[in-house]
Amino acid sequence: MQCPKCGAEVGKFRNPVPTVDVIIEIKGRIVLIKRRNPPYGWALPGGFVDYGETLEDAARREAFEETGLRVSLAGQFHTYSDPKRDPRLHTVSTVFLAKAEGQPVGGDDALEAALFEPGNLPALVFDHEKILDDYCKSR
């Protein structure tokens, strides 16, 4: 099948999948979620960008679905694209910084959500340890 606009063969190429992750701070602590699905473990709230959705809307939606928190985005932090960052497939994640108030509660893909001190984090899945290390160094 060919794209009607550019003539490129649709489905011929494998492309990375866009995702978002959100570093949510509440009174100096970081919100993490315990994943319901593989890979299991603690992670930043985040997920796949839906078709027709902006990165910002995806970040707010994923944060709310997984933590119950309505976040205020402070901007983009960095984009992570190592093909090995996600063992399931090649993803490219745009990481957002956000503020929120209240107590996080796990929902949707998250078994639980909790607040952690930046210097006392649990083991993390994906490349989230690197992301949070970069974030702490940038502060």
Following DSSP, what letter does each residue of 79-105 receive, concatenated?
A: EE--TTSSSSS-EEEEEEEEE--S---
Question: What average pLDDT does the segment 82-101 reach?
Answer: 96
Question: What average pLDDT does the segment 95-119 reach?
Answer: 96
Q: Choosing from 56, 65, 112, 129, which is the catalytic residue? A: 112
Per-residue pLDDT at 23 exceeds 90: yes
Question: What average pLDDT does the segment 103-111 reach?
Answer: 95
pTM: predicted TM-score of the whole model, two decimal places = 0.90
Tell me the pLDDT of the chain averaged across its residues.
Answer: 94
- Backbone phi, psi, residue 94, to 5°: -95, 125
Which CATH number is 17-138 given?
3.90.79.10
Per-residue pLDDT at 6 exceeds 80: no
pLDDT of residue 12: 73
Q: Which of 21, 25, 31 is nearest to 94 (CA)?
A: 21
Q: Is-catalytic flag, 25?
A: no
By percentage, how much of the chain surpasses pLDDT 70?
Answer: 92
pLDDT per position as a tens digit, 124-136: 999 999 999 999 9
pLDDT band at 61 (very low <50, low <70, confident <90, very high): very high
Question: What average pLDDT does the segment 47-59 reach?
Answer: 97
